Structure 1
Amino acid sequence: MLNILRPIEILKEIEKERNDKFYIAGSGIREYLIADKIKRIRILTSFEALDIAREFMNRCEGYTMIEKEDGSIEIFSDRFVSLIFSKICPQGIISQLSKKIYTVDAVAMTLDDFIDFKPEKLINPHGGLEDINNRILRIVDGENLRQNPIGYLRGIRLMAEHELDIDPDTEIFMKEHVHWLEGIRGDEYTKELFRILDQKESSYYINLMDRHIGMLQYIFPEIEPMKNVGECKYHVVDSFTHSVYTLKVLEGVVNANGFFEDHLRTAYEEHTSKCMNSNIKRLSLIKLGAFFHDIGKPAAKFNDDKGRTRFQGHEIVGAEMLMEIGKRLGLSEEDTVTLSRYSALHMFPLVIYKNNDVSGDTLFNMFSQTEDETLDVLLIGYADIVATRKLLNPDEEMGNFKVHVEYIANNYITRYLPLKEMDKIITFEEIKKLVGEHEAMPAYEALRKSIYMGRVSLKRDKIDKFLSNISWR
């Protein structure tokens, strides 16, 4: 608890000076009891949340502030626990907790009681402590959910983060009133959606959202047609079921120790842990891409002259649909394009495998198109094939395709990624001066390919010699 001691000390100072009583509510208590560490603490105060947050930041450097839509103020730091300040309602703490959607949030403690953590001092009007200890998600009052339907996603996220089971009566209630989600905006639920995808087994909760509660039709109406197409010579289930299974396979690969060789696993961990422009984890965007990789199939479906169902071009149709979904979610333009490219490019690994062609020319052509999404596409492509084949033949050995994907990934990491260093050795403008403006782009591409193929080393004298040689033209 080292990262929370100093913030608590400062809060106690402010509390005393203001002659107020601060409460810690919800997440801080829940995480103390059942999580590995406390990530954020919600502070309830009689004063304006913004005033207390500013006063706190004046005494503790390194925090950044954001104002949330509900009027609360969140401050976060690399050094200390995040704090969320809210103003307590005039009726007092019991009334405040009664406004919570779930019992696991409807608990509170004073600062002093939290430091010593005395469970008997917990303010627990709705049985939240018992539900936390028993890992149960239960509704406080259905009216609270109606007023804030984002609580549907929050509930699933709490289940995913803390491995909660849903109370049967709560599940029935949520399913019966799921229409409350109608009209919900993408930017309203994006944060909760990606926090669900951040979890190791998000496929389970995505499936629960649809099969048990019926939420996904309001969040992603595009998935409903997927439930009616997809079965063909290569698929024994509909596209939606296949997509959920693809996500499950992908998470199995990511979560498994020893699935990839150490250097590949390290490369994947570094790549997928990056934070995207929209302040989401790259791995979570990859997961969303895996779930949506076949979203274009309903629109692309046709029967050939032999009466066989085909989905030719579904990856391009899907890419166009994902551009719209990315915008709806409020993702940055760059992240939206990346999500779209997951659909557009996911067939590459399978096509190359079927053609039995992993030549230098073929892989260079692939990498020139997949670029920074190469490792992502390989992961999605692998999960897609395994999810397809394992349902056709559960005993089929997928080792050959795994080796195929690893070989491509190795080539990308060891031969294509180093090309990023080329611009540090010679710029495009310098190439223009050496070969002329009209020949610059062909020369640039020829140089990149020659370096990739091992015919030219990444040294300036070797590059100059190559560019001066007419044979590249």
Structure 2
Amino acid sequence: MLNILRPIEILKEIEKERNDKFYIAGSGIREYLIADKIKRIRILTSFEALDIAREFMNRCEGYTMIEKEDGSIEIFSDRFVSLIFSKICPQGIISQLSKKIYTVDAVAMTLDDFIDFKPEKLINPHGGLEDINNRILRIVDGENLRQNPIGYLRGIRLMAEHELDIDPDTEIFMKEHVHWLEGIRGYEYTKELFRILDQKESSYYINLMDRHIGMLQYIFPEIEPMKNVGECKYHVVDSFTHSVYTLKVLEGVVNANGFFEDHLRTAYEEHTSNCMKSNIKRLSLIKLGAFFHDIGKPAAKFNDDKGRTRFQGHEIVGAEMLMEIGKRLGLSEEDTVTLSRYSALHMFPLVIYKNNDVSGDTLFNMFSQTEDETLDVLLIGYADIVATRKLLNPDEEMGNFKVHVEYIANNYITRYLPLKEMDKIITFEEIKKLVGEHEAMPAYEALRKAIYMGRVPLKRDKIDKFLSNISWK
């Protein structure tokens, strides 16, 4: 609790000066009891949340503030726990807790009781402590969910983060009233969705959202047609079931120790941990891409002249659909394009495998198109094929395809990524001066390929010699 001691000391100072009683509610207590680390604590105060947040920030440097849609104020820091300030309702703390959707949030403590953490001092009007200890998700009052249907996703996220089981009556209630989600807008649920995808086994919870509660159709109506197509020569299940399984396989790869060689595993961990423009983890965007990799199949379905079901071009149709989904989720333009590219490019590993062609020309052509999404596409492509083949033949050995993907990844890391250093040695503007404006782009591409193929080292004198030689044309 070292990261929360200093913030609480400051809060106690403000509390005393304001002659108020501050409460810690919900997440801070829940995380203290069942999580490895307290990430955020919610502070309830009789004063305006913004006033208390500003006063706190005047006394503790390093915090950044954001105002949330519900009127609360969140401040976060790299050094200390995040704080969420909310104004308590005039009727008092019991009434405030009765407005919570889930019992695991409907608990509170004074600052002093939290520091000493005396469970007997917990304000627990709805059995939240018992549900936290028993890892149960239970509704306080269904009316609270009706007024704030985003609570559907929040509930699934709480289950995923803390490995909660859903109370049977709560599950039935949520399923019976799932229509409350109708009309929910993308930007409202984006944060909760990606917090679900952040979890190691998000595929389980994605499946639960659909099979047990029926809520995915309101969030992503595009998935419903996927349940009616997909079965063909290569698929024994519908596209939706295949997509959930693909996500599960991908998570199995990412979560496994020793699946990839150490240098590949390190490269993947560094790459997938990057934060995207939309303030989401790259790995979570990859997971969404894996789930949606076949989203274009319903629209692309046709029967060939032999009566066989085909989905030719589904990756391009899917890419167009993901552009719209990315916009609906409020993702940045850059992240929306990345999500779209996961569908457009996911067939690359399979096509190269079928053609039995991993020549330098073929891989350079692939990398020139997949670029920064190469490792992502390889991961999605591998999960896609394993999810397909394992349902056709559960005992099939997938070692050859794994070696294939690893070989491509090795080539990308060791031969293609170093090309990023080329611009530090010679810029495109310098190439234009050397070969002329009209020849600059062909020369640039020819140089990159020559370096990739090992014909030209990354040295300026060798590069100048290559560009001056008419043979590159």
- Return the TM-score normalized by structure 2: 1.00
Q: What is the root-mean-square deviation of aligned Cα atoms in Å?
A: 0.2
Aligned to 1:115: 115
1:171-208 deviation line (CA, Å, top 9, x unaligned)? 00000000000000000000000000000000000000
Alpha-carbon distance, 1:321 to partner: 0.1
Q: Which residue of 2 aligns with 1:411?
A: 411
Query: 1:434 and 1:404 mapped to 2: Cα distance?
Result: 40
Please give the per-residue CA displacement for 1:300-356, whole angstroms capped at 9, x wherever unaligned: 000000000000000000000000000000000000000000000000000000000
Distance 2:69 2:436 in 1: 55
* CA shift digits 1:92-135 (9 cap, x unpaired): 00000000000000000000000000000000000000000000
Q: Deviations over 1:386-442 (max 9, x none)?
A: 000000000000000000000000000000000000000000000000000010000
> Cα offset for 1:249?
0.1
Equivalent residue runs for 1:66-465 within 5 Å: 66-465=66-465
Deviation at 1:232, TM superposition (A): 0.2
Correspondence 1:25 to 2:31: no
Q: Cα distance, 1:68 vs. partner?
A: 0.1
**Counterparts of 2:54 and 2:397 in 1: how far apart (Å)?**
59
Q: Measure how far apart 1:216 and its partner are.
A: 0.3
TM-score w.r.t. the length of structure 1 is 1.00
**Superposed displacement of residue 286, structure 1:** 0.1
The alignment partner of 2:259 has SS state of: coil
> How far did 1:76 drift?
0.2
- State the secondary structure of the residue aligned to 1:441: helix
Offset of residue 80 of structure 1: 0.2
SS at match of 1:74: strand
Distance 1:471 1:143 in 2: 75
Aligned to 2:465, what secondary structure does the other structure show? helix
Q: Distance in 2 between matches of 1:311 and 1:443?
A: 38
Q: Could you list the runs of 5+ residues in structure 1 that have no partner in the other structure? A: none
Q: How many residues align?
A: 473
State the secondary structure of the residue aligned to 1:85: strand
Deviation of 1:285 (Å) = 0.1
Distance 2:223 2:415 in 1: 38
Give the 3-state SS of the residue equivalent to 1:86 in structure 2. strand
Give the distance between the partners of 1:17 and 1:370, measured in 2 at CA: 59
- Superposition deviation, residue 78 in structure 1: 0.2
CA distance in 2, matches of 1:431, 1:200: 46
Cα distance in 1 between the residues matched to 2:428 and 2:368: 17
CA distance in 1, matches of 2:131, 2:223: 33
Structure 2 CA distance, aligned partners of 1:128 and 1:436?
72
Distance 1:378 1:253 in 2: 12
Distance 2:61 2:410 in 1: 44
**Matches of 1:397 and 1:173, distance apart in 2:** 43
SS at match of 1:447: helix
CA distance in 2, matches of 1:438, 1:86: 62
Q: What is the CA–CA distance in structure 2 between the aligned matches of 1:89 and 1:414, rounded to whole Å?
A: 59
Counterpart CA distance in 1 for 2:417 and 2:111 is 52
Distance 1:83 1:299 in 2: 46
SS in structure 2 of the partner of residue 84 of structure 1: strand
> What is the SS of the residue equivalent to 1:112?
helix
Runs of 4+ in 1 over 2 A off after TM superposition: none
SS at the partner of 1:83?
A: strand
Output one character per residue of 1:357-396: Cα deviation in whole Å (capped at 9) or x when no partner: 0000000000000000000000000000000000000000
SS at match of 1:280: coil
Q: CA deviation at 1:24?
A: 0.1
Task: Give the Cα–Cα distance (whole angstroms) in 2 for the partners of residues 472 and 243 of structure 1.
Answer: 45
Shift of 1:19: 0.2
Distance 2:420 2:461 in 1: 18
* Counterpart Cα distance in 2 of 1:442 and 1:160: 50
Shift of 1:55: 0.2
* Cα distance in 1 for residues equivalent to 2:236 and 2:79: 51
Partner SS, residue 140 of structure 1:
coil
2: CA distance between counterparts of 1:329 and 1:237? 28
Partner Cα distance (2:238, 2:433) in 1: 56
Percent of aligned pairs with the same amino acid: 99
Secondary structure of 2:42 counterpart? strand
Cα distance between partner residues in 2 of 1:232 and 1:130? 49
The offset of 1:246, in angstroms, is: 0.1
1:159 offset after TM fit, Å? 0.1
Give the distance between the partners of 2:253 and 2:5, measured in 1 at CA: 38
